[in-house]
Structure 1
Amino acid sequence: MICSWFSGLLESEDLSIRKSAAEALFHFYYRKEDYQIAERYLLYYSEDNPERKLMQANIYAKTGKINEAYVAYEEMMLAEVNQLRIIMNALQILCEEDGDFDLAHRVADASSDVAKCFDMGVYQEISMQLELAAYEKNIDETARIMEKLISNCDSISDFTKSKLFSHLSFKQYGKDFYEDLRSDLVKRFCDEETFGYMSGNIYWETLKDKSHKE
């Protein structure tokens, strides 16, 4: 009786009602372990809906499609980590512009912790800290972070080697990719408009000389 009522709601013109009905029917059949029928109701979700992806992964796990489940869970986890760090970066910039540097530092540190927790590599652990050092025009901190970023270019893809994402396939980059990245960083770090406050700093002046020779 209840299922018939929810099934009728699937014909509603209201998208939110259709979605709620599909979700209720999915969980009803999922609890009954009738995964084949439960899976049908996922069609009422858009393909990029994270709820659909999670429920699909749960069905994979329950129906013996173990590798597909691993891949689905790991893809979602990586996407959520990247999205979280994008949000944290935006929040950090807002804090800087609003003059709340205590919170800006807290957010930058938290972003670093997230990157470390998910094996993103040294480069991604410290990348957001450069934004803050530059905004504060902290010469010593800027030089320290610049040097560390340049030295750890090849760690930018460390997450592809992580056990956390071991069921995913990633494009492998060769030595030339990292050399190009390192060269690009040097040029960016020598930009007078952004880092002119570094004038006179030994490390920065050395970078400029190196950039001019390349």
Structure 2
Amino acid sequence: RGFENEGKPMSGSPDADATLFQSNESLVSPKHYQYKEKYILTSVKSGLMIIDQHRSHVRILFEKYLSQITNRKGISQRVLFPERIELTSSEASSLSEIQEDMEALGFEMSDLGNNSFAIQGIPSELQNVDAVALVRSMIDKNMETGSNIQEQMHEKLALSMADFTAIPAGKSLTEEEMLRMVDQLFACQSPNHTPDGKSIITVISDDEMENKLK
């Protein structure tokens, strides 16, 4: 999938968050609760806010990685044992299209010839990640949704990496981790939707809850 609107706000839309999260919709409780290790629940003035934890992390990481690509500020950490990745000719061609932007994120790769590459460095914030699988996923995404427009290529690459590295549904979070995620989400430019238009937040109003409990 690319960045089709599908009837929902796009990541760059100035009105993407006008209808759901308003600036005066402040949290009224410092407590956050995790439901089925998938959703974060917290009280707001108008009712109960429900946040999808995986999609929330995708949005947070997407904006972070996009900024790194745009500003060329990614930091690399050298791997102790470089990993070799074997590509087809079409995959190698796709890699050449995005390699400069991958380097901006913190990847270091060397060409070994015959469509083989060594991954010698990865972004410094990544821990215990399958570097070969991550690079392959970014190449696959580029081949799947190829674009010649630089801004779209940057967004596509940032989303691919965010999708791969975001915490999954099913991961237990501490209160501190939930608080940090909520704070980071609401610091995003578009906290209500993922870059490909999926909803992150919904609010069940007090009236809705009262009606259901009649």
Q: Do the structures match in fold with TM over 0.5?
A: no
Structure with greater proportional strand content? 2
Structure with greater proportional helix content? 1
| Larger CA Rg, structure 1 vs 2 | 1
Higher relative contact order (CA 8 A, sep 6+): 2
